[in-house]
Structure formats: structure tokens, C-alpha cells
Amino acid sequence: MRRSLMRQVVTVFGGSGFIGRQVVKRLAAQGWIVRAAVRDPVDAGFLKPMGEPGQVIPIAANITKPDQVRAALAGADAVVNLVGILFEKGKASFDAIHRQGAANVAQAAREAGVKRLAHMSALGADKNSPSAYARSKAQGEEAVLSAFPGAAIFRPSVVFGPDDDFFNRFAKLARISPVLPVFTGDGFKPVHTENGYGIDWFGSGGPTFQPVYVADVAEALVKGVTDPATKGKVFELGGPRRYTLKEILELILKVTELTSCLVPLPFGVAKIQAAFFGLLPKPPLTSDQVKLLQVDNVVRGGKPGLVELGIVPQAAESVLPTYLHRYSL
């Protein structure tokens, strides 16, 4: 298989990112010539050793610029689009990146005669969502399938791994803060127990997530350009277990052996905090993210996932200790 694929070219937009570097490594191992289309090719030089000399090639490309996208796809056999943002800044809006940028890639791929396209979306993509992020992801899916009907769409839940921006963020916070917030929409309720009346502070424990390991997501994306059975399908990617936000924070504290106290906060407080955090250059929480948090981020069913792709999902409990231990005191 390596010999048959050696002359095939795949362009990976966002190839130097958290998920992108995992995809690049796997495609190179299968013998593809990999163009890592990134904003700064110099900074992406670390990708080159993932393949043989000249096999992994960082190139400059901005998906909001159609001419650069076309140049990156010239002569390519396949394309993977992983570019996404978690908050808007300047011209980098959700619409520009998730909808128009995705459309640019799909249209250029069709015009270039590219055979396969794997597109990264997100669980919760919904045109009717109150979140601009989720709406833009759904609009991006529509734009991709309209221009390239055979594209494979992948919707992961929260992705975890050594360089993630979710578990690492809470672990860093736990190391410096005596408290960790659990945003809840049904807490602070009076309850009757066998010992009398009390307060259910956390309610159901906050939003629910289904964290999925980065290596499993990368493997799924690779199948999106190598397995003909994925053409034109939408895959929902989640790990083997669902966790409330409270359970996730408890797991982080257990792995790191830190002693922060969990404090319930109503979403009203989260909205106020987000209004202030949104003024920072890299906000830890935005108003749009608060809207996202009010909807569970889990696989809904009815669409294929990791199991249908032949991938056995790895649990967070087995992976988190391999990299969160660095936060232990």
C-alpha cells in the first residue's frame, strides 16, 4: 500500500494544529506526499521529520483567500480541512472561517479534480443554534456538501490529548486557583431528603460532554480520504463515556492530585464573566461559548461514528494520566 500511495498527494489545511499534526503523521506513514497548508510554513517546520525527506511539505495558505487555496490544491488527490476557530477576532469571524473558508476549499477541490475530501465540523453543528459557532459549523457543512457531495464530514465532541485546550486549561487553573467553577442550569434547588430539607447546589452537574481522543479523531479523518465507504457521510465522533462538567473536573483533580474546591455557578454568572473575558486578546470564555455550554455536547445517535469506522475509542481515564501528571505539585 505504501508503494501505491507514494505518488499521491494530500493537502491538509491546518496541518500544524493539535489534530492536524496527528493526521499528517498518519498520512505520511501510509506513503502520501503531504502538503501541510498553514499560515506560517516556517513555524510548521517541525512536521517535516514525520516523513521521509521531502515527503511532508509545509506551504503557506489562508483558507479565506481562494487563490491561495487553489494553489495549495493544484495536483492534489485528496484534501483534509481542519481549520477552525473557537472565538472571533478581527476578520477571523466564524462565518469567514467555518462557512466561506470551508466553501473555498470544497469549490477549489472540485475544480482541481480532487478525489476525496474530509472536512472537520463539530458536534452541535446546527443552523438553528443560539450559538454563532454552532450555526457557522452547520453552514460550513452545507457549503462543503453543496460543492463536493462526496465529502466525508466529521463532528467530534471535545477532543483530548497532550496539547488539548480543554483538560489542560482546567488543570492549569486547578494548579493556581483554590476553586473551579461548575456552570449549572439546574442547581441551587431546594430538595427534601430523609434528614430534612437541603439545597442541591450542582443539580445534574452541568453540561455533558463525550470526550474523544485525538488519535481516534485523526484515524477517522485519515479514513475519510482512504476508505471509499466514508464518501458523502456525516460521522459523529465521541468517546466511550459521557461526563458532566462536574465529573470532568473531579477526574482532573484525581489525576493531578490537586485540591481545588468545586463551586457551582449559574449560567447567569457565566454570562457576566464572559462579557468581561471577551475583551481579552485570547478570552478563556466568551458569550458564545456560554451558549454552547448550555447544550450537551454528546453523540445523538442516528449517524455512524468511530465503531462504524472500525476504531475502538479510548477512554479519558486511560490517557489523561499520561500528560496531566505534569500539573501535580
For residue 3, count other CB atoms closer than 10 A to its CB: 7
Whether CATH 3.40.50.720 fits 2-150: yes
CA neighbor of 20 nearest in space, from 69, 210, 73, 28: 28
Query: Packing angle between helix 167-176 and helix 245-256, nearest 10 degrees?
Result: 60
pLDDT of amino acid 326: 94
pLDDT of amino acid 195: 74
3-state secondary structure 155-195: EECCEECCCCCCHHHHHHHHHHCCEEEEEECCCCEEEEECC
- Residues forming CATH 3.40.50.720 domain(s) in the chain: 2-150
**Position 41, amino acid:** P
pLDDT in tens, the chain (329 residues): 444 444 799 999 999 999 999 999 999 999 999 999 999 999 999 999 999 999 999 999 999 999 999 999 999 999 999 999 999 999 999 999 999 999 999 999 999 999 999 999 999 999 999 999 999 999 999 999 999 999 999 999 999 999 999 999 999 999 999 999 999 999 888 887 777 777 889 999 999 999 999 999 999 999 999 999 999 999 999 999 999 999 999 999 999 999 999 999 999 999 999 998 888 888 989 999 999 999 999 998 899 999 999 999 999 999 999 999 999 98
CA separation, residue 26 to residues 85, 113, 210 (Å): 23, 23, 24
CA separation, residue 168 to residues 53, 174, 213, 253, 267 (Å): 33, 10, 14, 12, 22
Q: Note whether 13 and 98 are within 8 A (CB).
A: no
CA pair distance 11, 170, nearest whole angstrom: 33
Beta-strand pair 196-200/189-193: antiparallel
Where b means 16+ CB within 10 Å and e means fewer, 66-78 reads bebbbebbeebbb
CA separation, residue 84 to residues 106, 123, 311, 317, 324 (Å): 15, 13, 24, 27, 25
- Which residues have a Cβ under 8 Å from the Cβ of 113 and sit 6 or more positions away? none
Supply the DSSP symbol for 95: I
- In this prediction the pTM is 0.94
